[in-house]
Chains A and B, each alone.
Chain A
């Protein structure tokens, strides 16, 4: 079994679905379901076989474009193992959710969903810089089509949304491509070696501080747009409003994590000096994202955007943890990526259920009193909501605790400001919950309980959330060696910087 099977299986199944989908509208959805669960099973197989001792495992390394030093190189270690599992879980959930309703041209719809999963898994597994960039850019295309063709609202709105999405990402992608190529070329130049884009090799051969700094900024821009972080989140409102919900659940749950993961996989190890240099800038962006995202989340009335902007805030916490540049922060960030992915999918799914009960409106003002005949729905919403606001006792709290502890140890002030965001989270989550489920019944609200199909999406993920709350070690234990290693590189590099600085005069 190699990682290639894991990565390409969703796409292959989706292509088969598109080809055979003409026979009956049921073929493509069911095939996609099968494919996503097969992928999930394979991911579980990898997690079970993974040696928790750490190190890069299940490595595939083939030369791809040998003259340019680009290789098709894949592998799993502590940083991406659990994220790969998360991606397959969320895509399986999204595929079930997509199976619960009819789509026009289902063959194509599920083709793009499968392609999205392949791109995401590829980006997580890639161990070559150019390969990562390729998968990272590939991620955009499926979601572009999913939004443009199956999105909500008028066609002009969809165009507007996709245009914003594409242009924002385009700018980021181009910067990243330039930066990636420059990294390889400059490394080869400065160290007099053959051209290589292998991440492991690049991490062993650090660039000069000057080159690191501008390259760092290019990568940071690309990743921050994708997360998105304040103030480059301009594509988010329209994009989130229009994207079809199953796709949005996967997109918000996983794609944003690829960006955060990029910082850990590429930026910290390959540009350690720049990471230290720009630490405060990134912490500042993170804190601004937390505060701004929270403020937007508690003032907007569109239920999707409440979740969307809460993601901005949550991604802010994750960025905060990464740029604490110590083990606690990185561990917390990794755990929080999983936690946030796990709550995002059910939240968006619940928005769909709420809208179905509020006469099709996704506006909180049209909701109210839905809990009445739907105690199960209300309970699940509450559990997911409390996890989202990182109530102690949830895995989200463990993640946030470690992130804040990391930042506290690195820069106390940022920990205090970020802590304000913790209180704000409770406001926007409970506000959304109360306005939807409690208070007087909205004008066109018709309360009814969840169906078994809905439970098939929600119940397993809520169970995973609860299980992870009792046993966050599942992720933490596996990521510990990798987190240690990524931080260790930073401390040696900063001491190296110090020693060269001393040696200079």
Chain B
């Protein structure tokens, strides 16, 4: 079977799964929906492996294969060459493998985790649809397919954030996420226009050829504008500042969704986009530098916020933002392989962390607050183990996967020299913050005196909320539908969850071994054909810098963990003193740097005010008053309202029309003769 056929099959199975689950919501029982959903993604993963094997059979120079299902081109000479086409090359195969691999495990986890939910088959229909959309995004062979995939994942994300739709918090979070994502889509569309203007094609490979052929010579401004607008799309999807505010709110969705969409896959789309468009960004250094700087700023700001959040999912959400900041910084600086390597390891350990968090949330009967959790170590040994593995990988402790990938990014940024040195240093500051907030979370949830729920669980009884409430605002749930269900599930008691988490823990631990400095470089060698034309592909950091980085990274991660240990374990209660001592900083962080308020002030309110002004004032005074009041007075003068409709009015109108018309005709006839 040829390579592209495998790729088409990868797209087909999730679509089939979504369709079957969507249409058969009445017939399929609980088991059916979960099994179909998981099997569909599992098959997609198998086909992705098939594509990988098949692709490696080609020569390195011929590993960019395009396949078109049909041609949309109609406006031939105006140059919109729209095709339903996919591009299979090492980059898209790599993304495909990560997406389908992690998705399979998360579907498996969901089979148990969501078992108490009323919307079981709806959930799997949405989740399969998401995977399909994400695969369209990474496989699309031209800008249109990219935009379609881009928007589809946004819609799937909206549907899943608002999954528990009776919660006002969830629906608000959903619309926020959707609108910010649409802003990103618009950026992508306008960026495409700028690029299309001079490249004359929507096809990726055609565009890259045109760029290398000098299509933008003398139109540097267009290229930079186009790339900056593409970045708007990337930032919106990847939750980079200032378009990030939807991501923490997106934690309203079920935890496996946070794990899959808002950590492992969708939010990394921006990284993929920049890597995919590298021939453009390398010709538009201003845009590439913007990406690197925004990534760096995001990783720091998100890290500081994560230090102060008390909702366990939000801590991980800000951590996600921060880690994507690293990736965006990497690909902005030209370290495509490093960024993509981190994308993969992050997918493993962050999905794992979310799954483990979901397990604790189950044990807390839906509660998410770190304030209330403590001492789950003995009650949930498996979850604890997974959380620690994920935490070590996230903090970058050797030999866990995150250590090697984060280090590769920082070493690359450091090797660029110049002002990139500032990003290099700040990257290590971020790494320190990462270790602190990660282990703050672990120590608070698992160590210390067991809380009531943990004690109950130690006696073999899973906590159960008498009255289910929304953890975000304490509102009593509507128990008809659209809430997480009264029953909760923990990993210790559900084999599918255990299997999924074990496999991810394996990945989080060992994935880094694929690419150890001075030892091997599997990822680089695999991705090299895609980035062969890049001017940075052979810009390897010096051996000294790499060695220095490995040592510094280890020290920083361990000292961050040590600090967290000191504050939250050795001297419990000392956190309050720290808060007091750094009060201004703490206020800034805990209020999330006031980004929500700022956007509210600058964007939401003006638009709302415009809407209200239109409705209350303009419509009433100008449109109704000036333009319509004349009308009303004519009617009043004419006859009473009731008579008007029955008798006079239409005749009056018709007569006037005829008379006027006749007069005009007459005039012109006389004038003509």
Contact = CB atoms under 8 A, between A and B. Distances in A.
Interface of A: 68, 137, 141, 144, 148, 155-156, 158-160, 162-164, 166-168, 170, 173-174, 177-178, 181-182, 184-185, 188-189, 195, 231-235, 237, 291-292, 295-296, 298-300, 326-328, 331, 369, 371-372, 375, 379, 386, 389, 391-393, 397, 401-402, 404-405, 408-409, 415-416, 419, 422-424, 426-427, 430-431, 434, 437-441, 472-473, 476-477, 480
B653 A170 contact: yes
A371 B155 CA distance: 18
Contacts of A156: 641
B577 interface: no
Contact of B627 (A189, A232, A327, A392): A232
A324 to B, nearest CB: 11
B628 A438 contact: no
B540 interface: no
B653 A426 contact: no
Contact of A405 (B147, B193, B607, B634): B193
A431 B175 contact: yes
B182 A296 contact: no
15 contacts: A177-B660, A177-B661, A182-B668, A185-B671, A188-B672, A295-B614, A328-B80, A375-B122, A401-B144, A408-B190, A419-B186, A422-B186, A422-B189, A423-B182, A434-B165
B656 interface: yes
Given A232-B627, A430-B175, A439-B165, A296 B672 contact: no
Given A163-B635, A327-B78, A430-B178, A233 B25 contact: no
Contacts of A419: 186, 189-190
B174 interface: yes
Interface in B305-321: none
B150 to A, nearest CB: 7
Nearest to A297: B611
B611 A299 contact: yes
B161 to A, nearest CB: 12
A401 B481 contact: no
B73 to A, nearest CB: 9
B15 interface: no
A479 B183 CA distance: 31
B672 A195 contact: yes
A375 B634 CA distance: 49
Contact of A401 (B174, B189, B622): B189
A392 B611 contact: no
A360 to B, nearest CB: 23
A234 B628 contact: yes
Contacts of A237: 619
A181 B666 CA distance: 10
B74 A477 contact: yes
Given A137-B657, A480-B75, 15 more contacts: A156-B641, A185-B668, A189-B672, A295-B610, A392-B185, A393-B148, A397-B151, A405-B80, A422-B185, A422-B186, A426-B179, A430-B158, A439-B168, A440-B168, A473-B72
A370 to B, nearest CB: 11
Contacts of A415: 190, 193
Interface string B610-630: 111011001100111001100
Contacts of A476: 74-75
A interface majority secondary structure: helix
B166 interface: yes
B8 interface: no
A326 B75 CA distance: 11
B656 A170 contact: yes
B162 to A, nearest CB: 7
Contacts of A195: 672
B98 to A, nearest CB: 23
Interface stretch (B324-332, B336-344, B507-515, B643-651): B643-651
Interface in B394-419: none
B649 A166 contact: yes
Contact of B645 (A148, A167, A291, A422): A148
A472 B72 contact: yes
Nearest to A144: B650
Contacts of A392: 144, 147-148, 150-152, 185
Interface string B631-669: 110110000011011000110010011001100110011
B240 interface: no
B480 interface: yes
A393 B149 CA distance: 8
Given A159-B641, A300-B615, A369 B166 contact: yes
A328 B75 contact: yes
Interface string B583-607: 0000000000000000000000001
B619 A296 contact: yes
A392 B133 CA distance: 12
Interface in B155-206: 155, 158, 162, 165-166, 168, 171, 174-175, 178-179, 182-183, 185-186, 189-190, 193, 196-197
Nearest 7 Cβ contacts at the A-B interface:
A299-B611, A392-B151, A438-B165, A185-B668, A295-B611, A426-B182, A476-B74
B603 to A, nearest CB: 10
B421 interface: no
B650 A141 contact: yes
B74 A473 contact: yes
Nearest to B175: A430
A237 B615 CA distance: 11
Contacts of A477: 74
A402 to B, nearest CB: 7
Contacts of A426: 178-179, 182
Contact of A231 (B150, B162, B622): B622
B277 interface: no
B175 A391 contact: no
Interface in B561-594: none
A470 B480 CA distance: 37
